[in-house]
Structure 1
């Protein structure tokens, strides 16, 4: 078995220089030799540039894995705050070590597993957590003072497009600044769309700073068009950041949430301007007009949000295209259609793949789908009978699923009894039992949620009554239906439609009751024709 030496530094400069990290390792090695540990039995874990407020650290994770595998008998650390500056995390680690019979040794202080020793250890941990809060406050206060008094720009991961970061200042990157000016000119003077601007930038060889794919998106262009930094105004302290403990992004970085502070707390730092204020103001006016026009819904779409692409899986969108100029009226007529958003993706450039699905005129698809609905509701009595059969089939499926979940919950209760028995026979310790119970409870909660959802849907179906409308009134009711009322009928029959194209043919597949009702109607007609 090994004696582990764990060392940690939190700042990047300390990690790069290595002095503090190597110093910790040297002190810990000396402590290990005092306990007659051979050099070959020492395993070093170095944590470079990771904060003590987060438990999820690479070297710490490796150490805990080795402890769990029974490879470590002792852990040597310079000070308790190297483990963690959070009291709860620190106590959790110590309990984990105790459960594995791993001895904990500190260079700067003595740790004894007695009530007095634990009290002293907890006091040190509380002080370390308090010190961390003070360090954060002083750091933030120092940064704000440096920004407000000296007008310095704090280090940033990536400077804004059009600028470089040098000596605590933002300086203009002339190559990128030329493209910023062109973006404003294309948008304000030439009235180009985001797609046209993105394609033009790609053709000219311009690349965004942050994008891994090196392709422009609508959001990155819009950010340039609305940022006041391009007229010389950089605001510091606009956002408040909070880490979400234990959560990570897809890239493995700590997950954060952001909120915008009150404008009184913002600190203005003047930077070199790339465009003049008049051009910036015109761009904002243009953005306002575009937003207003985008929000003005002139058309009602019967199938909006109910269509999904059968080629790429994206949900289709409803939009309007401008048609040809009417020579008689002098106005440009528009027409509505449905299309896959991947047909015109919001990332620009020739290397971006587009969906092969073609757009469809809205009135054509609306009429076709509504004709399908009319087939199943035009005969009220037959429609009610088929709907009742489908309803009963669904209720039977829900009952079977509910019974299956009930059996799984009973099995989980038996499993809990086995865990208790294993603890009584000393096959697992108290911590392992708690961990097993937490995992078991999470599984039970998920099953109970599924069971509740089944029971609620069953109750809803039992209370729903299938009403039959008289033949003499159905035609009048259908003629008077508004678009929203027609949507309500379609949504009660269909979850969604899958749209795909095979050559010149367009396939429309209904997912839900409508497909079953049409199939039943078709079978009834075939049976009638045979007889």
Structure 2
């Protein structure tokens, strides 16, 4: 069993006031020595840059897991407000520690599990929470005063591209400003796309401030062309942020809601512009034109949100390509396609595109529809295959699950590389946090897909098929589809596809596209009120030759 030391700081101000991690560790080590605890029996869980108002913190989560695994028998902390500033969270942690026989020791105060001790502890917690509210209120008021009266710009994690933050001012970075002007010139005069601009910036050696790889994203270029900062208008107090207690994003960050304040509450700080208002307005008008000419709102995509790439794991999207001119009208024809986003990734620079192929929408939609209808129109064969070839289906699903496992392993390796880079001071803490959270989100997305596959594998392995009942259910579904007539409208087809199919996985192999469908007949069974208790899985695989 180990003794845990938990130091926490959230801001540089705490360091200046004597609450640095090293100072806290020193005080806790001294306390441990007084208790006769040897250094080799101590583990330190450092928490840097996380507020005490939120219970979900990396080091705290690691500590709680170690306590849950019965590896820790006591925790030493300098003061109760280092544990948490929220009374409810603090009491919850104390009860959690007590339930696992973990002794909680504070350097600056005594904590006893008696009515009097708990009363004193609760009073201190209430005061700490009140102090936190006052600090936040005073900080916000002080910032607004500094911005409004002194026209100061508060320190920011990363100033906009083209500017440097220097002592409360945004000063033009002449090198970056020149790149900004080039972006406007390429966009308006050379009619370059976002991709072409991103690749051009990368080629001439321009690096975005927030990227460690040097690659440009479409959103970064879009901000250059739409932010009023570049015409000398910096607005403070535009958004109101509210943290949702107990809720977190997929990346693990506290979930927040953002609302835009009334424009009368915005505070304008004028800075030196990089481009003229005329040029900025031209770019705005051009973006409006580009937006109205693009997009696929006028087209229907039967397989929308159901296709996943078997190479990179990304969801495929529907898009359009422009074909040859119609000889009669002289208008260029557009045709629908499905495409993996990583075929043309929106990060421009040295990026390995996905090796898969785009495919015409009508070809894939017809192929998928025929696969499903073929299975349902011959229910005896399908039920026989489910009952007699379960192992073959399981093996196909295991291959798909293996793809996601490998991708998750790759993402975890990337996180370990980030840790090494952070320890060696190659990247900053902000960069480490941002990139690791992004990778964790991707891992969570992959885990969701893996769970889907493993659920299907479990159903196939454990289900005892009742041939008669299953045959009746599939025949009833087939009757329902046939009753709609030969020509189903889009909404009817979409309902059937969306109800039956959980996911379609596409993987290119030379001139062939491997198509795997996983889903369930339960949705339509419930709709038709067949009265089946067991689920009938839908698992189909087939190869689609690609047009040369």
Q: Does 1:222 align with 2:222?
A: yes
1:360 aligns with 2:367: no
- 1:423 is matched with none
1:466 corresponding residue in structure 2: 476
Deviations for 1:205-262, whole angstroms, at most 9, x for unmatched residues? 111111233211112211222211111111112223344556777887x534140232
CA distance in structure 2 between the aligned counterparts of 1:117 and 1:258, rounded to whole angstroms: 38
Alignment partner of 1:503 is 2:502:
no
Distance 1:336 1:101 in 2: 62
Residue segments in structure 1 that go unaligned for 5+ positions in a row: 378-382, 397-445, 520-531
Greater Rg over alpha carbons, structure: 1
Closer, same or farther: CA 296–155 of 1 in aligned 2, 3 Å: same
- Specify whether residues 390 and 312 from structure 1 end up closer, same or farther in structure 2 by C-alpha distance, changes over 3 A only: farther
Note closer, same or farther for the CA distance 1:460–1:185 as it changes in structure 2 (3 Å cut): farther
* Aligned equivalent of 1:128: 128
Distance 1:245 1:365, change over 3 A: closer
Indicate if the aligned counterparts of 1:340 and 1:359 stay in contact, CA closer than 8 A. yes
* TM-score, normalised by the number of residues in structure 1: 0.67
Q: Compared with structure 1, are the counterparts of its residues 243 and 214 closer, same or farther at alpha carbon in structure 2 (3 Å cutoff)? A: farther
Match of 2:267 in 1: 267
TM-score norm. by structure 2 comes to 0.65
CA–CA separation in structure 1 for the residues paired with 2:137 and 2:118: 29
Quote how far apart the aligned CAs of 1:176 are: 1.1
Counterparts in 2 of 1:13 and 1:331: CA distance versus 1, 3 Å = same
In 2, Cα distance between equivalents of 1:517 and 1:282: 53
Kept in 2, the 8 Å contact 1:202–1:348? The answer is: yes
Question: Counterparts of 1:114 and 1:475 in 2: how far apart (Å)?
Answer: 73
SS in 1 for 2:357: coil
Conserved 8 A contact 1:386-1:517 = no
Change in CA separation of 1:143 and 1:476 when aligned onto 2, cut-off 3 Å: closer
For residues 540 and 106 of structure 2, the distance between their equivalents in structure 1, rounded to whole angstroms, comes to 75
Contact 1:15 1:48 in 2 (8 A): no
* 2:142 match: 142
Q: Counterparts in 2 of 1:384-463, with a 5 A limit?
A: 386=380
Check the 8 A contact 1:31/1:76 in 2, yes or no. no
- Aligned-residue offset at 1:270: 1.2
Name the SS for the 1:85 alignment partner: coil
In structure 2, relative to structure 1, the CA distance for the partners of 1:55 and 1:320 (3 Å cut) is closer
Q: What per-residue deviation string (whole Å, max 9, x for no partner) do you get for residues 311-336 of structure 1?
A: 43433333222223456644333333
Aligned-pair CA distance for 1:502: 3.5
**Deviations 1:278-313 (Å, cap 9, x if unpaired)?**
111122222222222334644444544454444434
Pairwise mapping of residues 30-429 of structure 1 onto structure 2 (< 5 A)?
50-55=50-55, 69=71, 72=74, 75=76, 77=78, 79-95=79-95, 96=97, 100=101, 102=103, 104=105, 107=108, 113-243=113-243, 254-263=253-262, 264-295=264-295, 297-325=297-325, 329-349=329-349, 351-366=350-365, 368=367, 383=377, 386=380
TM superposition shift of 1:121: 3.0
Q: In the alignment, which residue of structure 2 is the partner of 1:433? A: none
SS at match of 1:334: strand
Structure 2 unaligned blocks of 5 or more: 391-450, 460-465, 522-536, 542-548
Partner of 1:416: none
C-alpha contact 1:3 1:37 (8 A) present in aligned 2: no
**Partners of 1:371 and 1:2 in 2: how far apart?**
62
What SS class does the counterpart of residue 466 from structure 1 fall into? helix
Query: Could you tell which deviates more after superposition, 15-24 or 305-314?
Result: 15-24
Number of aligned positions between the proteins? 447
The alpha carbon displacement at 1:342 in A equals 1.9
Cα distance in 2 for residues equivalent to 1:49 and 1:512: 44
Distance 2:239 2:49 in 1: 24
Q: Deviations over 1:354-377 (max 9, x none)?
A: 122222334444555566677678
Q: Deviations along 1:395-447, whole A, 9 cap, x unmatched?
A: x9xxxxxxxxxxxxxxxxxxxxxxxxxxxxxxxxxxxxxxxxxxxxxxxxx9x
Provide the rounded CA distance (Å) in 1 between the counterparts of 2:153 and 2:363. Answer: 57
Distance 2:63 2:15 in 1: 19
The answer (yes or no) to whether the contact 2:516–2:539 under 8 Å persists in 1 is no
Secondary structure at the aligned position of 1:318 is classed as strand
